Amino acid sequence: MDYLPTLEETANLMQIATGFTLIALTLVVFFHQVVFFHQRKNDKETLRGRAWETQQKINYMALENEAVLRAAELTVSGNFDRIEGPDDLKRAMFMCFIQINRVNSLWRGWKSGLLGESELLDEARPTIRLLLGSLEIFNYCLTRGYSGDFAKFMEKERDYVIANIPQPESGDDWAAALLAKKSGKSA
């Protein structure tokens, strides 16, 4: 004869099955969160790493090419006396675009919740400061295809940086002053 469980035994089995289901569901949610947060950390590091790599590529370009170096200096110093023509100005504009694009990537990471605001500002403000040697170039670049929200962010940060962070000395000025000091002359 087949055994049929009693109603009480069936209820107990259902409670045990429900318990195992809840434990399994809890483990699935827990592991999902662990994987999610680990992936998020990796995404954040990838984003910041790419921004760093972009900066290093710009630095290498400047080391390898005198015209790119002049453009980078113009972007930082705003000293138009050292450029050799309109091509230097266009290179400076594109140098500024590349740097603004770098900040835009970080800003998008912040908007998506990947970076915190302090992480964004720690990366963005020094870059913005370097781009303000020529406000004309910086402001022109902001009008060239960025979202309104990003442009407003950059304008707000531009104003903050101008008011609170001193403009760095250009590499040309620093090098001239150091060489003059070493030779005993004034710059």
> What pLDDT shows up at residue 73?
84
In a domain, 2, yes or no: no
> What pLDDT shows up at residue 35?
57
CA-CA distance, 23 to 25, in Å (whole number)? 5
Instruction: Please indicate, yes or no, whether residues 142 and 65 belong to a single structural domain of this protein.
Output: yes
Instruction: Please indicate, yes or no, whether residues 11 and 73 belong to a single structural domain of this protein.
Output: no
- Residue 6, CB half-sphere, CA atoms under 13 Å: how many? 3
Question: 161 is in which domain, residue-wise?
Answer: 46-183
In a domain, 142, yes or no: yes
Instruction: Please indicate, yes or no, whether residues 18 and 71 belong to a single structural domain of this protein.
Output: no
Instruction: Please indicate, yes or no, whether residues 28 and 103 belong to a single structural domain of this protein.
Output: no
Instruction: Please indicate, yes or no, whether residues 120 and 73 belong to a single structural domain of this protein.
Output: yes
Residues in the chain: 187
pLDDT for 76-106, tens place per residue?
887 777 778 888 889 889 889 988 998 998 9
Instruction: Please indicate, yes or no, whether residues 68 and 93 belong to a single structural domain of this protein.
Output: yes
Instruction: Please indicate, yes or no, whether residues 12 and 101 belong to a single structural domain of this protein.
Output: no
pLDDT greater than 60 at residue 22 = yes
Instruction: Please indicate, yes or no, whether residues 15 and 55 belong to a single structural domain of this protein.
Output: no
Indicate the DSSP class of residue 80: G
CA-CA distance, 66 to 84, in Å (whole number)? 11
Instruction: Please indicate, yes or no, whether residues 21 and 109 belong to a single structural domain of this protein.
Output: no
- Residue 133, CB half-sphere, CA atoms under 13 Å: how many? 25
In a domain, 27, yes or no: yes
- Residue 166, CB half-sphere, CA atoms under 13 Å: how many? 3
H or E segment and range at residue 44: helix 7-64
> What pLDDT shows up at residue 157?
96
Domain tally, the chain: 2
Indicate the DSSP class of residue 5: -
Instruction: Please indicate, yes or no, whether residues 29 and 104 belong to a single structural domain of this protein.
Output: no
Instruction: Please indicate, yes or no, whether residues 149 and 166 belong to a single structural domain of this protein.
Output: yes
